Structure 1
């Protein structure tokens, strides 16, 4: 595809960091205590490794990782309707995905019906049941754990409506099948990227508050991936978790301010997903404490504008436009009775000093250009037999 995906680049660098940690341990335990080193210090070398990794994370890809397997019989699906159920329409990232998904399905003559899950099991289930009653070609549930609407998901599949769960880790109790597919998220990679940046920015002394979503098990897994980075690379860092939910959105500012005020050393606050940015910032402002840096995951256009003007210190995002085309690809394959391939979602880290190539417009956001060349749409259309 022309370049190595950020996740793979991170792997090699993480191995290097672990090796450097081993050197530190051996030096501390053994035999050459008091002997001057002739090479660069481990701390300096580790800092350079982090700098290299962060620099890699802030660059777009040379090409998108579009799957290679073509789909047959797409023309026979023309006229069907696919239901898209985002966990909440408040999420700017999911709005971008919905727009891209609609364009992708329109290219093959399929209609898109969107139904807002509103962050509650009741509304999510109602949306899925609506799709089942309408005999939809497929249901795409975005950022919704299977357990939030298990009965509705079961009923849809029993009625012959295939289900694609996007932006969620697979549920071991409900494995992928001919009627159920999972499209992977970039959540873990985004939390890891933010952790790396915070460690470097704080010189290894960060006190961090993370506003972690409790809407399903996946957000906790993403945060756990970031906390693993802190544990490995920043033993002096401290991470505090504040549990939040889309269903209790109005409580986020007060819970954030309360959590910050409990610990006077907190210097970084992470809004795990972009839909929580403003509520998180409001909570920080309520504390009247200067100098706290806010970082954001699943960042959208407004978040990147805030990064550019210095209101947000760093943001990590995944290509939401590409996610829409992947969701369409998965639905088309399932509707045609074909297997779904493994997908990879590009993730990028944004900081104020690495925004020179980022065009801050809705058009740029919708095109996916922040993460790589926009020709991926042509690549998908070739897979679907349109060109």
Structure 2
């Protein structure tokens, strides 16, 4: 989930997904992902009822921007002593435009603190990712920030970097219990994927009055994606006994099969009323599958919302979306590495997540500049707040 987005992101993500097929397949083996999610149902009973009144206020709150962001409480001393040092940024692949956008915002934050950023493209393969980490270690980088790369995929090289006293930040992945956070390792954005699924689950329960029959096109490319969806399924299990959730596993390696698998799942259960694409990456082929199945009247929702999906929401093509503030996350990355470079432990960062509906999206400026500023999620003053913490304002 990032900062300023490029146009036609759906098409670009498609090519990025194809380019990352090798690395995702490897990550499944390395990290023990539960790829067999297709057809995994959360039981629901048609004669059960759900009191959705308590959800109304929660959903209303999720549909609003934050009044303020959660910021670290402790300022960082002696940031000036790090001037001129280099942070390595290693995205899983620069074919995906969101990582180029993150690079830009990460660079802006690093420059504000007097540091430089060196980018090494993971190119979607374990070999290149590990080579990038090794390159950073050999170059005596001040810190390493990875993006969308499970720790287990590069465990040996990341371990070697930490042994060389190079702090490492893992972006947008669940915490690897075998490699917990430490003075040389931090996880940033691990909450965002789960928080989006929880928000979408609550909206679906409320909108359906506790009677949703939901199909989720869940990404199976790594260990984090099923864990995120599991957080939403817990909400259905506890709050909606009358709801049914069916999981259809989709992957980047089989991107071209998303329409047919979606269509097959819809034909198998003609009572499905809601369809969710876990990530915007799969939204267009999910919609193609709905069309292929000749299904009408379905409500479509998505996670990892960016500019294109919010425009689709505004036009009525989809009914709800959830996304995270990638701009804030990039600045939190730099805050984390600054603290670790100076011998402290990085704090927990709560990445802002927002639910978007047709009502709330109507008041947004749907431009790349607006997305880059973070204004969709709350105040845009967090960049100045971080600078104050670093003593460079």
TM-score w.r.t. length of structure 2: 0.82
1:327 maps to which of 326, 329, 333? 333
Is residue 225 of structure 2 the alignment partner of residue 219 of structure 1?
yes
Once the 2 structures are TM-superposed, how far is the Cα of residue 178 of structure 1 from its aligned partner? Answer: 2.0
2:196 maps to 1:157: no
Instruction: Name which of 146, 153, 161 aligns with 1:141.
Output: 146
- Counterpart position of 1:206: 212
1:247 is displaced (CA, Å) by 4.1
Contact between 1:298 and 1:316, CA under 8 Å: does it hold in 2?
A: yes
Among 46, 66, 70, which residue is 2:71 paired with? Answer: 66
Alpha-carbon distance between aligned partners in 1 of 2:70 and 2:118, rounded to the nearest angstrom: 27
* Structure with higher RCO (Cα < 8 A, 6+ apart): 2
Cα distance 1:88–1:330, how it changes in 2: closer, same or farther (>3 A)? Answer: same
Which SS does the other structure have where 2:322 is aligned? strand
Q: Over the residues paired in the alignment, what is the CA RMSD in angstroms?
A: 2.2
User: Which residue is 1:78 aligned to?
Assistant: 83
1:294 maps to which residue? Answer: 300
| Residue 259 of structure 1 pairs with residue 268 of structure 2 | no
For structure 2, the 5+ residue unaligned runs are 1-47
SS of the residue corresponding to residue 241 of structure 1 reads strand
Moved more, 188-197 or 121-130: 121-130
Residue 382 of structure 1 aligns with which residue? 388
**Aligned partner of 2:176 among 166, 171, 184:** 171
Shift of 1:68: 1.6
In 2 relative to 1, CA 306–365 (structure 1 residues): closer, same or farther, beyond 3 Å? same
Contact 1:269–1:294 (CA<8 Å) still a contact in 2? Answer: yes
Compare CA radii of gyration and give the structure with the larger one: 1
3-state SS of the aligned residue for 2:256? Answer: helix
Q: Closer, same or farther in 2 for the Cα pair 1:258/1:149, shift >3 Å?
A: farther
More displaced stretch, 104-113 vs 366-375 = 104-113
Separation in 1, partners of 2:234, 2:110: 39
| Alpha-carbon distance between aligned partners in 1 of 2:263 and 2:87, rounded to the nearest angstrom | 41
- Answer whether contact 1:81 1:136 (CA < 8 A) is retained: yes
Name the residue aligned to 1:277: 283
- SS of the residue 2:312 aligns to: helix
Give the corresponding residue for 2:39.
none
1:337 & 1:112 partners in 2: Cα distance? 20
Secondary structure of the structure 2 residue equivalent to 1:204: coil
Query: Is residue 250 of structure 2 the alignment partner of residue 244 of structure 1?
Result: yes
Confirm or deny: 8 A CA contact 1:96 1:365 kept in the other structure. no
Map 1:2-13 onto structure 2 (within 5 A).
none
Q: Give 1:111's match in structure 2, choosing from 110, 116, 120.
A: 116
Corresponding residue of 2:59: 54
Name the residue aligned to 2:102: 97
Report the alpha carbon displacement of residue 288 of structure 1 after superposing the two structures with TM: 2.7
Instruction: Name the TM-score, length of structure 1 as normaliser.
Output: 0.83
The aligned length equals 345
Q: Structure 2 CA distance, aligned partners of 1:327 and 1:101?
A: 8
Shift of residue 120, structure 1, vs aligned partner: 4.1
Q: Which runs of 4+ in 1 moved over 6 A?
A: none
Gaps of 5+ in 1: 1-27, 29-41
Quote the Cα distance in structure 1 between the aligned partners of 2:196 and 2:129. Answer: 26
